[in-house]
């Protein structure tokens, strides 16, 4: 396994791989790898000749007073996990390499990113689209694998790829969950045992909403959202940021439930830790 830090070296190496006819898969991460990330690596390995995992805590997607300075990092453990999983290249650039002095160019997607997390984190998706476009230009992937847990991010990136004619396929891996149902996330490391127990309300509440639709035939968005909020409110450490039924592709709010086309998306604070989750309807 190679570890590359230089942007120019990574780009040159990727161009060489493409010239030799190799298919490249990229799994973009901010490190602190967990089973969710590893499942995305497995998807990439099935589809391509060379798998690149990027590990970069991207400062431009963090807003003021967010956790950039404290975001969990475990590079040596990450490298070992990548090695064990059969990753070919880990691209681990510096902030200075990705955003050199005088940097002033950003990418804005203005529709899919407008709601949900875009309301409470107004600069977040600008940072996500900017860093992803840079990573795509540097690593030249044929496919890029993201996780369904970050559903809005997936849709924003897909829209950017479509709108800007980027020659890469976006592949979405299913959300990986622990045995207790909690969606895997690097931020889970912030949680104490008692906070972790209360965070389990996310997946339980989403399952309640899904059962209302598929087992009880409920088609009222308001009823489903109200029941999910009611369940979340029973956890004393949780503060609901949003619960919304949206179109899977556009992230536009739904007026009525149409099974097979929508998601219920949830964001909460567990004390000072922000968690998101979603489930298909």
List per-residue pLDDT tens for the chain, 281 residues long.
999 999 999 999 999 999 999 999 999 999 999 999 999 999 999 999 999 999 999 999 999 889 998 898 999 999 999 999 999 999 999 999 999 999 999 999 999 999 999 999 999 999 999 999 999 999 999 999 999 999 999 999 999 999 999 999 999 999 999 999 999 999 999 999 999 999 999 999 999 999 999 999 999 999 999 999 999 999 999 999 999 999 999 999 999 999 999 999 999 999 999 999 999 99
The CA-to-CA distance between both ends of the chain, in Å, stands at 40
Pair 14, 151 in one domain: yes
In a domain, residue 178? The reply is no
Pair 42, 153 in one domain: yes
Contact present, 112 and 226 (Cβ < 8 Å): no
Pair 160, 226 in one domain: no
Pair 200, 96 in one domain: no
Distance of CA 153 to the CA centre of its chain: 6
Q: For position 133, what pLDDT does the model report?
A: 98
Contact present, 129 and 64 (Cβ < 8 Å): no
In a domain, residue 59? The reply is yes
Domain boundary among 141, 173, 205: 173
3-state SS, residue 16: helix
Q: For position 159, what pLDDT does the model report?
A: 98
Per the structure, the complete domain to which residue 196 belongs is given by 191-275
Q: For position 65, what pLDDT does the model report?
A: 84
Q: What is the CATH number of the domain that holds 91?
A: 3.40.50.620
Contact present, 3 and 92 (Cβ < 8 Å): yes
Instruction: Give me the number of domains the chain comprises.
Output: 2
* Tokens encoding 13: 């190496």
Q: For position 237, what pLDDT does the model report?
A: 93
Contact present, 14 and 41 (Cβ < 8 Å): no
Q: For position 70, what pLDDT does the model report?
A: 87
The catalytic site residues sit at 37
Contact present, 13 and 89 (Cβ < 8 Å): yes
Pair 197, 165 in one domain: no
In a domain, residue 94? The reply is yes
Q: For position 111, what pLDDT does the model report?
A: 97
Q: What is the pTM of this model?
A: 0.96
**Residues 110, 192: Cα–Cα separation, whole Å:** 37
State the angle between helix axes of 201-214 and 221-233 in degrees (0 to 180), rounded to the nearest 10: 150
Locate the DSSP E strands across 5-135: 24-29, 50-55, 89-91
Q: For position 83, what pLDDT does the model report?
A: 98
């Amino acid at each position: 396994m190679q570890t590359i830090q230089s942007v120019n070296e990574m780009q040159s190496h990727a161009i060489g791989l493409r010239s030799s006819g190799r298919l490249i898969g990229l799994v973009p991460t901010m490190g602190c790898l967990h089973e969710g990330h590893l499942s995305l690596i497995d998807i990439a390995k099935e589809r391509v000749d060379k798998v690149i995992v990027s590990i970069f805590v991207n400062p431009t997607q963090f807003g003021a007073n967010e956790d950039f300075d404290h975001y969990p990092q475990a590079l040596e453990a990450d490298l070992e996990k990548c090695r064990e999983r059969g990753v070919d290249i880990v691209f681990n650039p510096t902030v200075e390499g990705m955003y050199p002095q005088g940097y002033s160019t950003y990418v804005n997607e203005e529709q899919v990113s407008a709601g949900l997390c875009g309301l409470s984190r107004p600069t977040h998706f600008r940072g996500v689209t900017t860093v992803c476009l840079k990573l795509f230009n540097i690593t030249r992937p044929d496919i890029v694998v993201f996780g369904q847990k970050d559903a809005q991010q997936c849709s924003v990136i897909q829209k950017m790829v479509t709108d800007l004619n980027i020659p890469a396929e976006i592949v979405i891996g299913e959300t990986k969950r622990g045995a207790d149902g909690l969606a895997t996330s690097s931020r889970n490391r912030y949680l104490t045992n008692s906070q972790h127990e209360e965070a389990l309300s996310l997946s339980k509440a989403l399952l309640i909403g899904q059962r209302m639709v598929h087992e009880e035939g409920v088609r009222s968005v308001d009823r489903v959202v109200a029941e999910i909020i009611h369940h979340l409110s029973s956890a004393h450490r949780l503060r609901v940021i949003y619960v919304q039924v949206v179109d899977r592709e556009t992230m536009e709010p739904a007026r009525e439930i149409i099974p097979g086309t929508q998601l219920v998306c949830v964001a909460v604070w567990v004390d000072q830790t922000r968690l998101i989750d979603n489930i298909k309807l």
